[in-house]
Amino acid sequence: MSMKAPRGTVDILPEEAAKWQFVEQKIKDVCRRYHFDEIRTPLFEHTEVFQRGVGDSTDIVQKEMYTFEDRGGRSLTLRPEGTASVVRSFVEHKMHGNPSQPVKLYYFAQMFRYERPQKGRMRQLNQFGVEAMGSADPAIDAEVIDLAMSVYRELGLRSLKLVINSLGDKESRENHRQALVDHFTPHKVELCNDCQTRLVQNPLRILDCKTDSEHPAMKTAPSVLDYLNEDSTIYFEKVKNYLTLMGIDYEVDPNLVRGLDYYNHTAFEIMSEAEGFGAITTLTGGGRYNGLIEELGGPATPGIGFGMGLERLLMALEAENVKIPADEDLDCFIVTVGDEAEKASVQLVHELRKNGIQIDRDYQDRKTKAQFKAADRFRAKYVLILGESEIAQQVINVKEMIRVTRKKYV
């Protein structure tokens, strides 16, 4: 029997957890300012939620989902991504009927994908994401992108590149789809097996293939931007104009399609350009998904969102040598002398904690000197000394251990 964590999973130990807590709190602060509220969805869903929501032609559904049958014979799947679950909740709880629209939500969630583990890409991954549902205004697209960029900037990242594209509305996508089929059909036998399937199911995803990325036909593939109708063109121009007004630099990449079937109109990725970050540079991916809410049983409702991998965010911070402050100092440590003092300390520690004081005590029956050493290891700011004489006088001695709070940068 193996007593190690399963392949593709890791333990986050206390010293690492301090980084996660700092990053998560910073993200929550940004979401509060942008007026996004937190949502928490179940760890698993009915498999159909992801089959319909993510798309049968995606790698996630075809190759990466952890799917099992419960004792009632129902097919359930550990969530591989966040949007479908949030949209399912949006529909189930009729949030589309809320008087305040759009509904702006964010989440922190663990995702599960059966893929080859590598640095920053695990089988159990942690993701932060946002979803804004109920508005077809291109300004909300720019706001969602701005939120993601603000998270990175406020954490200290600077080597970033924002790439955007438009996939157009349904009419534009259909026109481009046919152009892709016409273009790639003569080369079908030269493409990988996945792309041969995609040519029938979703030819747009051929442009996202890593196996065939160097095939000559990729370089001459028709651009979706050439097939945007007037409405889609105007929409994309507005998104770009809003980003410019916000002072957000971007590049347009007509080959950016994203890996999920539900995207239309705006698609975007944020990448790290930090030296030594690695071959896979994408930090965040997202876009607009008008039609997805309908697909999951709700009324026609537009939406846009993104998913941000927290493991990759921490990797980017490390690559740019951004240090995360973690206050490791303990407020107080109580040192007791004698059995009566040890008993009295139980109630004292309890009362101080109730009043907001961070305090710890000895649980190893150590001598006084050893208790002081323990207080020093915990980096206690103050030591409370309680003995028989202090009990008799109903006082406690307080010793200041350090005058300045020390912060460890991790």
CATH 3.40.50.800 segments of the chain: 328-409
Find the distance separating the first CA and the last CA of the chain, reported in whole Å.
34
Q: Which tokens sit at 109?
A: 């969630």
pLDDT tens string, the chain, 410 residues long: the values are 678 999 999 999 988 899 999 999 999 999 999 999 999 999 999 999 998 878 766 778 878 999 999 999 999 999 999 999 999 999 999 999 999 999 999 999 999 999 888 777 789 999 999 999 999 999 999 999 999 999 999 999 999 999 999 999 989 988 988 998 899 999 988 889 888 888 888 888 788 787 888 898 888 999 989 999 999 999 999 999 999 999 999 999 988 876 566 678 999 999 999 988 877 789 999 999 998 999 999 999 999 999 999 999 999 999 999 998 876 789 999 999 999 999 999 999 999 999 999 999 999 999 999 999 999 999 999 999 999 999 999 999 999 986 444 445 44
Given the candidates 3.30.930.10, 3.30.420.40, 1.10.3720.10, 3.40.640.10, the CATH classification of the domain at 14-169+229-319 is 3.30.930.10
pLDDT given for residue 261 in this prediction: 60
Helix (H), strand (E) at residue 314: helix 310-319
Rounded to whole angstroms, the Cα distance separating 125 from 84 reads 17
Tokens 């493409």 appear where? Answer: 191
Question: Which of 255, 315, 304, 247 lies closest to 282 in space, CA to CA?
Answer: 315
Rounded to whole angstroms, the Cα distance separating 160 from 177 reads 31
Residues 6+ apart with CB under 8 A from 243: 142, 145, 146, 162, 164, 250
Rounded to whole angstroms, the Cα distance separating 213 from 202 reads 17
pLDDT given for residue 31 in this prediction: 98
DSSP per-residue letters across 131-163:
EEES---HHHHHHHHHHHHHHHHHHT---EEEE
pLDDT given for residue 177 in this prediction: 86
pLDDT given for residue 197 in this prediction: 85
Tally: H helices and E strands in the chain: 14, 17
The radius of gyration of the chain from alpha carbons, rounded to an integer in Å, stands at 27
Q: Which tokens sit at 139?
A: 């300004």
Rounded to whole angstroms, the Cα distance separating 365 from 95 reads 56
Please report, as a single letter, which amino acid is at residue 325: P
CATH architecture, domain 328-409: 3-Layer(aba) Sandwich (3.40)
